Structure 1
């Protein structure tokens, strides 16, 4: 099955470079390109891509607001944002707006390909180099005294362990090794956790766990 990708960046050369990397893959195809947030939302409605690769810093309607509009309209596309720096206000804002993850613009082509495929599968993506730093920083920014969420009580002991591991930025392979489980079993647990908590992806799960003081 081919994953349909929409590219959004105000720099034509960046769009061309991204397109060359993606189009070289048999399972990925670029269905459109946009130069700003307004065009990004319009093309997402029209072309129905699976993944939108979105620059966050653009004049006018930036990638954060465009992501917010795409998510608010419940369009099927999932958003992967590209940032100039590993950790900045735009990255946090994009995640809060509903992006499925982000990568720095200087990521290797292989990282970009893995990220697009992961997002298309419904996984959250944060650059491997900064996952734990991101989650630590998110934790420090959360308001203190958040009341307990009753949904936590619906989790089994194992699901709670998996949620805590996700919140620490661990991959399925790392969780499987630590809990002596298969990766498939871990993936099943993660899916159940997301379903019970009504969360979109691993990034939201990590923030939820930090907010609830589970890690």
Structure 2
């Protein structure tokens, strides 16, 4: 059973989330009203997921990622936020958040997202993807061709990057050395013209190189 710890300012919201979790077979192992209240209760409850109601600030989820790192390395952070902009979404993911979802998300969607996060995936709601990806301009509406096509192995590595795996995890899955994994990642960034892994994944999605 997937164990979830809830952070939400409103006791009503916490109760509602507990009900949604229970209906899908999740176990709500605890809850508190804000990040400042994180204490031994979180550590002792050993959650798989930390569900954060970020109210009006996507950065709240980013800070949750940082705070969580101080007490446990077992839980993935899922953020519920009100229309966060691109910068705040990026900040949240950089700080370890595994999913950014709108607060008005339906119960089935939230349950599916939590299942995906528990399985190791990074999740974004379609409404947030449109904010996160660059908006095409009238003078550049076509997808820019790749500098060079990705090899089959590079496409495998890119798919793993999309799930949030690091070099060591990729190397272990493909039974290759860490240096070889780093080489593949560097080659992917170069071919996609990306500066970061996150940007590479975004470009890969636009080119249909990643299975969602």
Please tell me the TM-score bracket, short chain as reference: 0.5 to 0.7
| Structure 1: gaps spanning 5 or more residues | 138-155, 172-187, 200-204
Hey, what does 2:120 align to over in structure 1? 122
Question: 2: CA distance between counterparts of 1:111 and 1:207?
Answer: 29
Alignment correspondent of 2:73: 75
Name the count of aligned residue pairs: 168
The answer to whether the 8 A contact 2:4-2:30 is kept is yes
CA contact (8 A) 2:89 2:132 kept: no
Gaps of 5+ in 2: 136-149, 164-169, 186-193, 205-212
Deviation (angstroms), 1:13: 1.4
Alignment of 1:3-42 (within 5 A): 3-26=2-25, 28-40=26-38, 42=40
Q: C-alpha displacement at 1:158, in angstroms?
A: 1.4
Residue among 199, 204, 212 paired with 1:210:
199
What is the RMSD of the two structures over their aligned residues, measured on CA atoms? 3.9
Contact 1:45 1:75 in 2 (8 A): no
CA pair 84-118 structure 1, distance change in 2 beyond 3 A: same
Q: Distance in 2 between matches of 1:192 and 1:55?
A: 37
- Aligned equivalents of 1:118, 1:70: Cα separation in 2: 20
Q: Structure 1: how far apart are the matches of 2:155 and 2:128?
A: 22
Q: Aligned partners of 2:203 and 2:86: how far apart in 1?
A: 25
Distance 2:174 2:51 in 1: 27
Change (3 A) 1:165 1:4: closer
TM-score, normalised on structure 1?
0.63
Instruction: Answer with 49-58 or 31-40: which moved more.
Output: 49-58
Q: Distance in 1 between matches of 2:108 and 2:154?
A: 32
Match of 1:181 in 2: none
Residue 18 to residue 98, structure 1, CA distance change in 2 (3 Å): same
Change (3 A) 1:74 1:65: same
Measure, in 1, the Cα distance between the counterparts of 2:133 and 2:72: 26
- In 1, Cα distance between equivalents of 2:14 and 2:2: 17
